[in-house]
Structure 1
Amino acid sequence: MAEAAAETTKKTKPGWGTLFRSLRNPKSGYTALFGFASGLPFSLFLGTLYAWLSEAEVELETMGVFSLIGLAYAFQFLWSPLIDKVSIPGFSKLGRRKQWIVPAQILLGVILIALSLSNPTNEAIGWFSLLAGIGALASATQDIAINAWRIDVADEEATLDILSTVYQMGYRLAALVGGALGLIIAARIGWPQTYLIMGGILLAIGIIGLWAPDTKVTEAGEGEPDELLLSLQKKGEINPSLRAKALGAVGLLWAVAIGTVLTFMYMSLAYAPEDRPNPTDFTVNFGPWIIVATVVIPAFIAGWLASQKNKGENVLTEDIPRDAGNSYAIDHLYRALVMPLVEFVGRMGWSLVLILSLVLTYRICDAIWGTFAYPFYLGELNYTNDEVAFASKFFGVGAIIAGLALGGYMLTVVGRMATLTFGALIAALTNLLYADMAIGGANMQAASDAIYFTNLIEFMAPFGSEGLPRLTFTIMWENLAIGIAGAAYVAWLSSIVSKKYSAVQYALLSSLTLLVGTLGRGALGEMIEDRGYFDVFILTTAIGGVAVVLCVFEWIRQKRAGAKSGVVTPDAAAVPAE
């Protein structure tokens, strides 16, 4: 027995051994591939495509329509219940998540090839924009399904932490291929040929994805979807009449939110350029209300339902038979829209306030700052396009990937919450590096000189100015911090959702992360105009400090949750709830 225990301890000892075992698992390879498939279309539709349109001399007013594409990613949670609830006829045999992933990847490949055969001129932009819009919807749908798949297939060897890190590595690599490398390829063989190649890559990934592991459709969560529906008729469940009222309220709110987005999209496509609504204004003005309608108010409703169930009020006093009529349809809708929130709120309780606060603040620094990075580099610091491309795209992406690798290693050694807290701390502190750059960068230059980093950059980029080493040095540390924080954040976010409702719950939480960055940019832009970049970086450091404090509270919460459940692990609640 002692030898067996020693052997078990040896096998499960955290460190490089655990990391390498996880990476050797086929699930890790497919996760990297799916991460690449997620990042490539995002880069091609929201970045590189604008370069093609500019080269084709498409008018800026017309080009503004393409910013609609970003809405598919910002509000993807609106159709996430479909991923958890609906099976696609003819594809369900592929698996619970692959029935969405593989068709989406193949559709994306076809769309990119179709774009390569199209002509993005002002006269023919309608068909081109339609294809890009459908592609963005397919890409966002793929992201929902892949994130849910990653959570579903994680096990003790291919851990959730490692799969989350590997996914991001693939995603970041795709951003480099679709962005910087895409521009280089297009300059040599042309845009149509470039998009043809990218489409072929996604088609190949879609075909390879056929062999990826997945849970069966009949294994959704704890059992078949029908079993989850049958459980609603059991003693102790919420009374059907009350469920119907809750569904009516939540369904109306979601319908209004979806209708608002569709109306905006119609106005943007059908109206004349001078009359089209502004996408940024729409996100700022309507985005918070969409979140209130689809997340905040339904969460209160879900919390009340959970409290009623816990108190034994408004619940069934005995099992009732299933009605195949209207109540059956209502139960299906209730399971898709309301149950994910009821489960999450009921499981988290008042801890939900802490969870949402951490979600809203953890990535806010880099989420807001990203919009102003190029104006800061090019306008404020007067670097050239080539210098910024070298520092941020080539060297910077490498630093993020290195940070992800280091974050993955830390997750296996010190645990998720320690890594999450450390990531929040260093991500906040790197804002001080940019504050130094805003007042001349003397400290960054001295630090770069001290470790001979300046000599390395002068050798690698002889075209650069004398200030390029300190810019690259600053970006390197920031991106390294982003990589560590990103690895921990996605792993933590994935760990707090339920496998039964992973698509909806993860999509809702990740959308909040995206939206808060969008909402804060206007205020930050005004502050830059009024106070300058230095004060802004001091402010973002302080906001990052708030995230560190919240991480500590969440760490304490998980420790207490583990103590109550009798589970002694580095991170309580380390596995998504079943």
Structure 2
Amino acid sequence: MSATGIAQRTLDALSVYRHKRVLILLLLGFSAGLPLMLVFSTLSFWLREAGVDRTSIGYFSWIALAYAFKWAWSPLVDRLSIPILTRLMGRRRSWMLFAQLVLVSAIVGMSMSDPLADLNRLAIFAMLVAFASATQDIVIDAFRIESAPEKMQAALAAAYQVGYRSAMIVATAGALTIAAWVEPGNDEYNLKAWQISYAVMAALMFVGVLTTLFSREPVVDTKEADDTELALKQKLSQRYPKPIAASLSWIYTASVLPFIDFFKRYGRSALLILLLISCYRISDIVMGIMANVFYVDMGFTKEEIAYLSKIYGLIMTLVGAAFGGILLARFGTMKILFLGALLVAVTNLLFAYQAMIGHNVPFLTIAISIDNFSAGIATAAFIAYLSSLTSSGYSATQYALLSSIMLLFPKFIAGFSGAYVDTYGYVNFFVGASIIGFPVLLLIHLVNKYVPHGIPAKSVLTDENQVS
């Protein structure tokens, strides 16, 4: 192929990023990624610096299990209207705004807490953040899936990933930087520094609020779900009073039908799909809970992590996510899903070597850069894959179930990470975090081989004006 032809194909691949929906998903991804780190690794750093023991920090991470159970209330997002807001903004945007306002309030509550004086108070606000953040994830995922046809999902997934990972960097490196600025040159624990840092993070949540207010509600075909609910309501009305019949039909349509639809479409293969989903991110999630604790124990300062490691990590995350979107469009989801899983598992070995050499800023910069580049590719592919499994009218519930399954097993295992490090040390921990990622490659191969392809997953009513 000539140089001109290669250049044209490259431009064609990149043109998908010019749509307005891509920018919207970039900003909503930022809104979704920011709260996660505030109840995950950044909170672990705060607690460790305050003197909370590693085992307690490991157990504290179970707060993030709210993300694994978001499927339990996802039917509300799919089928329940919020008074006044839904009429003014539409179902998806009204739920987004509601979750974002709760997040702002809960993060402010964390910023006014003291883990040494009242750890329970901090835990309560952290749980509220996790719950509201999981709710926001539910509705943003549905909004993303419903906003564009399947051919654009790779680009939307990549943009979402760029925003999401950028916010994670802001909520880690940014939070550490702000905490360090409060009292420069002082490495001692400073409660006020952390409180100011979390207050700033609460203010940054208004990026999502403004994006929600200025975005457009997607148009979705919910006729099948609506007709099923109406038919069931009429049938039940013959046996029960109308209010009871209406309630039962709504519960069935919102909570039961999405799962029936999924298993009906995939049959026995659904179990293999769910097994892959439950294990795909086990390597990086198990490793991630101890990452910032590891940095503290290795003697890295907040400034070193924020300015050196995280800056390069952010750059490589953006490059990795964007590159992942191009790879998805060029080679398809399953191949890039395999590549991402392989890269994530292998890069954990870099941190095992870091544990052996101790405090070494240049190597940590390289390790985090490569790790974030790999995570960008893997997550973009995984988001696109999960999106392809959902059906129109049930996207919020089905995607919430799938993404919850993704977190449940890894988060449970990660809760024991502190105790594991105390017993076996960091080198063994990171090697183990790498090894447990390799069986995922076999699962991807089996899914690609045995799961039927070409199953119609959704029929979003989208035209060029909607995605422009």
- TM-score range normalised by the length of the shorter chain: 0.7 to 0.9
Q: Deviations over 1:306-364 (max 9, x none)?
A: xxxxxxxxxxxxxx999735333211111122111111111110111210121122211
SS of the equivalent of 2:277 reads: helix
Alignment match of 1:561 (pick from 453, 457, 460)? 453
Instruction: Give the drift of 1:484.
Output: 0.9
8 A Cα contact 2:55 2:419, kept in partner: no
**Residue of structure 2 equivalent to 1:384:** 300
The amino acid that maps onto 2:67 is Y
Paired residues, number: 442
2:341 matched to 1:341? no
SS of the equivalent of 1:500 reads: coil
**Residue of structure 2 equivalent to 1:430:** 347
How do residues 4-403 of structure 1 correspond to structure 2 at under 5 angstroms?
Answer: 15-20=10-15, 22-48=16-42, 69-93=63-87, 94-113=89-108, 118=112, 120=114, 131-155=125-149, 159-189=152-182, 190=193, 193-215=196-218, 219=220, 221-223=221-223, 226-232=226-232, 324-374=242-292, 379=297, 382=298, 384-385=300-301, 387=304, 392-403=309-320
Could you say if the C-alpha distance between residues 337 and 172 of structure 1 is closer, same or farther in structure 2, counting changes exceeding 3 Å? same
The amino acid that maps onto 1:44 is L
Instruction: Give the drift of 1:419.
Output: 1.1
**Residue of structure 1 equivalent to 2:189:** none
Matched residues in 1 for 2:347 and 2:51: separation? 39
Could you say if the C-alpha distance between residues 498 and 521 of structure 1 is closer, same or farther in structure 2, counting changes exceeding 3 Å? same
Show structure 2 runs of 5+ residues with no match: 183-192, 461-468
Q: Deviations over 1:24-60 (max 9, x none)?
A: 2111111111111112222334454566678899999
Matched residues in 2 for 1:206 and 1:185: separation? 23
SS of the equivalent of 1:384 reads: coil
Show structure 1 runs of 5+ residues with no match: 1-9, 242-319, 442-464, 566-572
The amino acid that maps onto 1:561 is H
2:349 matched to 1:489? no
Instruction: Give the drift of 1:492.
Output: 0.4
The farther-off stretch of 477-486 and 467-476 is 467-476
SS of the equivalent of 1:356 reads: helix
8 A Cα contact 1:151 1:576, kept in partner: no
Could you say if the C-alpha distance between residues 556 and 121 of structure 1 is closer, same or farther in structure 2, counting changes exceeding 3 Å? closer
Alignment match of 1:501 (pick from 394, 397, 415)? 394
Q: Deviations over 1:371-411 (max 9, x none)?
A: 343565565xx453355555643322332222112111101
**Residue of structure 2 equivalent to 1:280:** none
8 A Cα contact 1:497 1:577, kept in partner: no
Q: Percent identity at matched positions?
A: 36
8 A Cα contact 1:230 1:322, kept in partner: no
How do residues 434-445 of structure 1 correspond to structure 2 at under 5 angstroms?
Answer: 434=351
Could you say if the C-alpha distance between residues 388 and 512 of structure 1 is closer, same or farther in structure 2, counting changes exceeding 3 Å? same
Could you say if the C-alpha distance between residues 114 and 424 of structure 1 is closer, same or farther in structure 2, counting changes exceeding 3 Å? closer
8 A Cα contact 2:225 2:393, kept in partner: no
Matched residues in 2 for 1:128 and 1:440: separation? 35
- RMSD over aligned CA atoms reads 4.0
8 A Cα contact 1:102 1:207, kept in partner: no
SS of the equivalent of 2:393 reads: helix
8 A Cα contact 1:110 1:203, kept in partner: no
8 A Cα contact 2:338 2:444, kept in partner: yes
Q: Deviations over 1:150-183 (max 9, x none)?
A: 11112267x1111111112111111222222123
> Normalization by structure 1: what TM-score?
0.66
Alignment match of 2:439 (pick from 546, 549, 563)? 546
Matched residues in 1 for 2:247 and 2:421: separation? 52
2:403 matched to 1:510? yes
Q: Deviations over 1:66-87 (max 9, x none)?
A: 7674343332222112111211
The amino acid that maps onto 2:402 is L
The amino acid that maps onto 1:554 is V
Larger of the two Rg values belongs to structure:
1
